[in-house]
Structure 1
C-alpha cells in the first residue's frame, strides 16, 4: 500500500464521517441507474448527494444529469474516481467493467458499491477483496434483496422452525422493459454516440471473462456462455439469497439442465451438516440439521409476470418469501407462513413487514456502515461464494 493511497483513504474517511452526507459518483447511466439508483438516492437526500455521473455515452450522462441536477459529468471513469467531490463510487455500468472500476476507485481511496455481479471469475473476485484491504476502503456488493425487512423476518421465522427438509428457489420473470415502462421513471437508452472501439472493447472483455471462467472449449459454446451470463445477472440474486437464508453455499450440485439457448436453467443442490439456528445447543430440535435438497430454477420469458420466491419446508411449517419486481418502487416483499395451529387446524398467514423497498433499506444500511465504520454482509468475500455455486452448476452441464 503506497503512502498516497493511505493518505487519500484517510482523508475520504474523515470527510465522510464529518459530513455524514455521502457524496456519490455513479459510473453507468443506464437503466438501473435511471430507474432505481438516482430516484432512491434522491429520496435519501439527508444521507446522500450525487455529485458526479459517468457513462461512455455522453448523451446518457447529459440526460440524467439534467434530470437530477448533477453538476459533474464524465465519459471517463478514471476522471470520476479522481474527483475530490466523491466519497463513494457506485458502479452500475456493464458487468465487464465492474472489477477494473472497483480497483481504480479503491486505489483513489474511495469507498465502492458494486452492482452485482461483483466479478465473474475467481481471480477478479480475489483482486477486489484484496483491494479493499490494501487501500483501507469499504467495498460492498448490491444484493438488495438481502437487505429487505421481510428477509430478516423470514430468517427469524426459519430459525424458530425445526430442521429444513426441502427448499425451492424460483426466479422466472418477464422482460425488464415491461416493468420499467410502468415505473413512471421515464428512462431513456442512448447507443448512437457510443464509440465503436468501446463496443469492441466490451465484446473482447466478455470473451476473455468467459474463457477464464469456463475454459476455451466451453466458452466457445453459445449455450454455456449464455448460461454463465444469466447466472451472473438474474441468478446471482437468487443464489445469494439462497446462501444467506439456508446457512451458506450448498455442499454440492447433483444435477443441472439448461435450455438450448441458455435462457432457462434448473439445478438440484444438496446441503449437509448445517445447523438450522444459532439458538442454544441445549435445544435438541436445533442440534443437527439432516441433509436436505434444494430445487433451483431461473429463466426469462416474454410474459409480464415476476415470479420469484424462496420456499422452505420443515416438518411443522412451510415458509415462503415472494419478491416482486424492483423496478416499481414500493412493492413489498411478503412472507407466507403455512402451518397447523395448536388445535390441528390448518392456517395460512401473510406477513408484510414494510412497504420500504429493498433498495432503500440497502442504501440506509450502506450509509450506516460507511459513516460508523461497521460492516455490511455483502462483502467481496461473500460475493465470491456465488462463483463457487456457478461452478457447481456449470460442471454438470454438457457443451
Structure 2
C-alpha cells in the first residue's frame, strides 16, 4: 500500500476525532486550524490557515470551513488535494475557478491535485439498504425530505462575489439567507435526495421565511411514474434533529432518518432505515436498520482515499451545481422583476 496522505485540517474536526486514529495507515494528521478546539482535545498540533496551506509536508487539505472557496483555491494551486463538504461551488464562475486552480496546481503536482466532495450521510451502510428498498417499490407516489434542527449554526460571511455570481446585482436578505442555508446544511439534504431518487425534472414554489425554507420538486421514478417531493428545512434554538427522507409506495413506506453531529455539542449518532408495510390482521409491520455516524464518517474517509488513489472525476460537482442553479433560477422567475413579499 502507498504511504498515508499527510493531512492538514481546517475547521471543526469533531465528527472525525474518533475515526482518524484507526485510519493511520491512510491518513497522517500533521496540523489543524480550529479556533474552537484546543490541540489537547484532538491530539493534533495547531497552526494557522496560512501555515497549513504553505506547509510542503502536507499533501491533503480537509477543508471543513463553511465558506471554503478561497482556501480551496489556494490549496489546489499549490498542488495539494482537497476534501470539502458539499457543495464544492455555488455558481458556474466558482466551478471554473476551481478547474483553473487544478490546472495551476499541476505545476507543483504533475499528476494534478484532486477534489473530493464529502457528504457522510450517503456513505452510511443504512443508506445502501434504503436504496435497495426503493428499488423494490412498484412505484413511488410521493416523497418528503425534512431537516429541521437546532441549535442554529453561527452565521458566516458570504463573499460578495459569490452572491453576484449567482444573482447578479439583485441581492436581497432572503437570497443571502437561501445561499447560506444551501451552502451548509441544505446541500447535504439535496445530495441525499439526488443519490436516492435521481435528478428532479423541475422545482416549483420555493418559499423563504428565514430561517425556514421549503420547495416542491417534481420527479419521474425509474419506471416512468411521476411523483412530487416536498422539501422542508430550517434551523432554530431547539436542540433536536427532525431529519428524514421518506418515500411512499402503494403498500410500503421507506424512510431514511438521520441524526448527525450538530455544531457545538457534537451530539448525534445514527442513520436509520425504517420500512413500514401492511402486516397481519390489518396491523403495521415495521423493520429497521441502524448505522452509527462513526461508520458513515469512516466510509466517507475511505472513499476519499480511494478517490485520491484512483481516477479523477468532476461529475459530482457539476450535478450538485445543476441542482442548486435549478433552485436559484426558479426563485428568480417566481419573484419576477418587481419586488414582492417572496423576493
TM norm structure 1: 0.73
Figure out how many residues of one structure are paired with residues of the other and give that number: 326
Structure with more strand by fraction: 2
Note if contact 1:253-1:392 (Cα within 8 Å) is conserved in structure 2.
Answer: no
Structure with more helix by fraction: 1
208, 212, 219: which is aligned to 1:264?
212
Note if contact 1:171-1:307 (Cα within 8 Å) is conserved in structure 2.
Answer: yes
Higher relative contact order (CA 8 A, sep 6+): 1
127, 137, 149: which is aligned to 2:125?
149
Give the Cα separation in 2 of the matches to 1:377 and 1:308: 28
Aligned to 1:229: 180
Aligned to 2:300: 362
Q: Is residue 2:125 matched to residue 1:174?
A: no
Q: For the pair shown, which has the larger CA radius of gyration, 1 or 2?
A: 1
Note if contact 2:124-2:293 (Cα within 8 Å) is conserved in structure 1.
Answer: no
Residues 1:133 and 1:310: Cα distance change in structure 2 (over 3 Å): farther
Note if contact 1:168-1:294 (Cα within 8 Å) is conserved in structure 2.
Answer: yes
Once the two structures are superposed, the pairs formed by residues 1-399 of structure 1 within 5 Å of their partners are: 18-19=2-3, 21-28=4-11, 32-33=12-13, 35-54=14-33, 60=35, 64-71=38-45, 73-76=47-50, 79-95=51-67, 98-129=68-99, 131-132=101-102, 135=106, 136-175=112-151, 203=157, 206-217=159-170, 219=171, 221-248=172-199, 250-259=200-209, 262-272=210-220, 274-275=221-222, 288-327=223-262, 328=266, 331-341=269-279, 346-353=284-291, 356-371=294-309, 373=310, 379-392=316-329, 394-395=331-332, 396-397=334-335, 398-399=342-343
Please report how far the alpha carbon of residue 138 of structure 1 lies from its aligned counterpart in structure 2 after TM superposition: 2.1
Report the aligned-residue RMSD: 2.9
Please report how far the alpha carbon of residue 208 of structure 1 lies from its aligned counterpart in structure 2 after TM superposition: 2.5
Please report how far the alpha carbon of residue 324 of structure 1 lies from its aligned counterpart in structure 2 after TM superposition: 0.5
Identify unmatched segments of 5+ residues in structure 1: 1-16, 178-188, 190-201, 276-287
Aligned to 2:338: none
Question: Segments of 4+ in structure 1 off by > 6 A?
Answer: 375-378
Please report how far the alpha carbon of residue 354 of structure 1 lies from its aligned counterpart in structure 2 after TM superposition: 5.2
Identify unmatched segments of 5+ residues in structure 2: 107-111, 336-341
TM norm structure 2: 0.84
